[in-house]
Structure 1
Amino acid sequence: MTDSAIETVTIADGEPGGRLDRVLAARIPALSRSRLKALILAGQVAIAARTVRDPAAQVNSGDTVTVTLPEAEPAKPAAEEIPLDIVYEDDALIVIDKPKGLVVHPAAGHATGTLVNALIAHCGDSLSGIGGVKRPGIVHRLDKDTTGLMVVAKTDKAHRALSKQFEKKLEGPLERGYLAFVWGAPDRPRGTVDAPLDRHPHAREKRAVRAGGRDAVTHWELVERFSGEDSSKDGGKPVAALLACTLETGRTHQIRVHLAHIGHPILGDETYATGFKTRANRLTPAAREALASLGRQALHAYRLAFEHPVTGEFLEFESELPADLAALEAALKA
């Protein structure tokens, strides 16, 4: 949009009215209710040619409401030419396979070099303005050193619809699958961790299972067990395993905390597997070398499926293990 655009909503005679923000949200689905509220407060909305700044103002049968949409402001994060592995892209969204080491959003200590910076450069004018700013709409995140699939919205409408899918996982089509290499192996084929998460009481950068925290549910399934260098010394117990995890909720560090909580932290996790470093001595030399060179938690978002926010089509994507995790897997199997 190069100039301000005008959206006009007319309430037909006999049609019920209601609160201004609710009426507009129902009739202009491309804009979120929070965006519409901001436009009302900024004096960009008029009822019968009279500017109204109250989101709760009453709209009556026969009224005509006009909404002025200013040109979307340039994104504050700078555009940066950072290579991206693009799995799918259209006018509404983009799916990428995130590499390790890439922070998703600018924050303290990571003002540049993030996925958002890269997407601003890649998408350019195809970003229509999330909340009035030309920026990609982040609906979910992966930790800096977790690899795998992410979907990002390019429009307000797509951002709102995708966000709803991520908020209502049990009621919708959303599927997120992760592969995790963990210490030890569960003694049963599958299970569920239902344990609330909150900030760690002593380390703000960490999360912990705590009563009264936000609900968090992770389902896991045993894919494969791996023996150590001399399994006879350990009574035949596996030294590590590969688990496939699916999420009902999407809390920060959820899989990492939950798997550590049940005694099977993720290999290479410097935050939640600190008490398991000596376990590396049980690995074969090749597996120890592969783990030492990994430099991150062995966690990969391998599956992502959701309903397209515009077409309603069910989209499914899968990602192979990246080279470093594939090398770890091969070494554990050898």
Structure 2
Amino acid sequence: MSPTDPEIISDEDDLFEHYRIVADKGQGAIRLDKYLNLHVANASRTKIQNGIEAEAVKVNGNITKASYKVKPFDVITLSLPEPPRDTEILPENIALDIIYEDDVLLLVNKPAGMVVHPAFGNWTGTLINALVYHFQSLPTGRNGEGRPGLVHRIDKDTSGLLVIAKTEFAMSFLAKQFFDHSIERTYHTLIWGEPKLERGTIIGNVGRSAKDRRVMDVFEDGSQGKHAVTHYEVIRSLRYVSLVKCNLETGRTHQIRAHMKHIGHPIFNDPTYGGDKILRGISNGSYKTMVENCFSLLPGQALHAKSLGFVHPTTREWMQFDTELPPNFQSIIEKWDSYVKYQ
């Protein structure tokens, strides 16, 4: 790789692309925006300029203007929304639970069971299909394809908040906050068992399992995967299960699900990480019936993206949003509460 070849660094969500470019020793003076247009594939001039304005581009670790003249051996880093790689997305008239909207962004409360963006096996019925129908001009990166407005994502069977960008600048500005881990993300989850500590921090690299690429493993020694930190606090202990609040310091794929399994407390009804089996209590009688009734109320893991906080792209004010647990999630907690009280 020559000094000016961009080194693509995969990010935590695979929704952004991160570059590190070193200008060669014979580089003549050229504006930063023009230099990047020459060295970053498939990035329009507008996308580059928005990235610079959103402070997602740095030279030698410093925020820099578009007019900066690139010099030999300058180290330029970028974190930009990933260029789309998917096929054309068809609009579908799917209802959206929009809890906030303005000129540059909107907040959606996604139901469990809805896939966020089209992919193999889920080409229709996704959040993105719905967004394309309801909003005609969401930023996509190029060619009107890909993941319109999508800055982050949550798993199919996880419910809760997602922020959607309505302009290219908002997309770059929000993407930088996710990359910098300055976004506040709180999840509520029901886990099997009661942790020994009512609050704590789980630190362990998260990466794909060598045995099953659909599953994420935790690597405490840091030999594989990506750095991941989850802060948790028990909200309610229900003897066999616990309602837990999780704050993400990082946002790796399946982070909470993998971390909770790692400490011996898989998420309730999580089929990927073993939580869809009775892991506490007996496996027969009325208890078994009650647990199976709870399982039947959820399409998958009991995990809800409850709150989201970030700096607004244009007002620069901190915005904080919160949602209630879905009715079926609340019903499960009530069932456990009643069972524990009368046993």
Same fold (TM over 0.5): yes
Report which of the two structures shows the higher radius of gyration computed on alpha carbons: 1
Distance 2:268 2:140 in 1: 40
C-alpha change, 1:186 and 1:151, in structure 2 (3 Å) is: same
C-alpha change, 1:33 and 1:92, in structure 2 (3 Å) is: farther
Partner amino acid for 1:160? Answer: S
CA contact (8 A) 1:21 1:33 kept: no
Partner amino acid for 1:299? Answer: L
Equivalent residue number for residue 19 of structure 1: 30
Matches within 5 A, 1:1-334: 18-22=29-33, 34-36=43-45, 76-125=88-137, 127=138, 130-131=141-142, 133=144, 136-169=148-181, 172=182, 174-210=183-219, 211-226=223-238, 238-273=239-274, 276-279=277-280, 281=282, 283=287, 285-334=289-338
* Deviation readout 1:121-153 (Å, 9 max, x if unpaired): 11124x255446376221111100000000011
* Deviation readout 1:30-78 (Å, 9 max, x if unpaired): xx993329999xxxxxxxxxxxxxxxxx79xxxxxxxxxxxxxxx9201
SS of alignment partner, residue 201 of structure 2: strand
* Deviation readout 1:7-40 (Å, 9 max, x if unpaired): xxxxxxxxxx943443688xxxxxx993329999
CA contact (8 A) 2:190 2:241 kept: yes
CA contact (8 A) 1:21 1:37 kept: no
CA contact (8 A) 1:141 1:150 kept: yes
- TM norm structure 1: 0.73
Distance 2:275 2:233 in 1: 24
Partner amino acid for 1:319? Answer: T
SS of alignment partner, residue 124 of structure 1: coil
Cα deviation, residue 187, structure 1: 1.4
- What is the identity percentage for the equivalent residue pairs of Structure 1 and Structure 2? 41
Cα deviation, residue 216, structure 1: 0.6
Distance 2:144 2:295 in 1: 42
* Deviation readout 1:255-310 (Å, 9 max, x if unpaired): 00000000000000001025843536464754541223323100001111111111
Distance 1:275 1:82 in 2: 29
CA contact (8 A) 2:192 2:279 kept: no
- TM norm structure 2: 0.71
SS of alignment partner, residue 154 of structure 2: coil
Distance 2:149 2:226 in 1: 24
SS of alignment partner, residue 265 of structure 1: coil
SS of alignment partner, residue 331 of structure 1: helix
Distance 2:280 2:43 in 1: 50
Instruction: Point out where structure 1 has 5 or more consecutive residues left out of the alignment.
Output: 1-16, 26-31, 41-57, 60-74, 227-237
Distance 2:265 2:164 in 1: 31
SS of alignment partner, residue 189 of structure 2: strand
Equivalent residue number for residue 12 of structure 1: none
CA contact (8 A) 1:217 1:249 kept: yes
CA contact (8 A) 2:269 2:277 kept: no
CA RMSD of aligned residues (A): 3.0
Instruction: Point out where structure 2 has 5 or more consecutive residues left out of the alignment.
Output: 1-27, 50-68, 71-86, 339-343
Distance 1:245 1:76 in 2: 36
C-alpha change, 1:274 and 1:329, in structure 2 (3 Å) is: closer
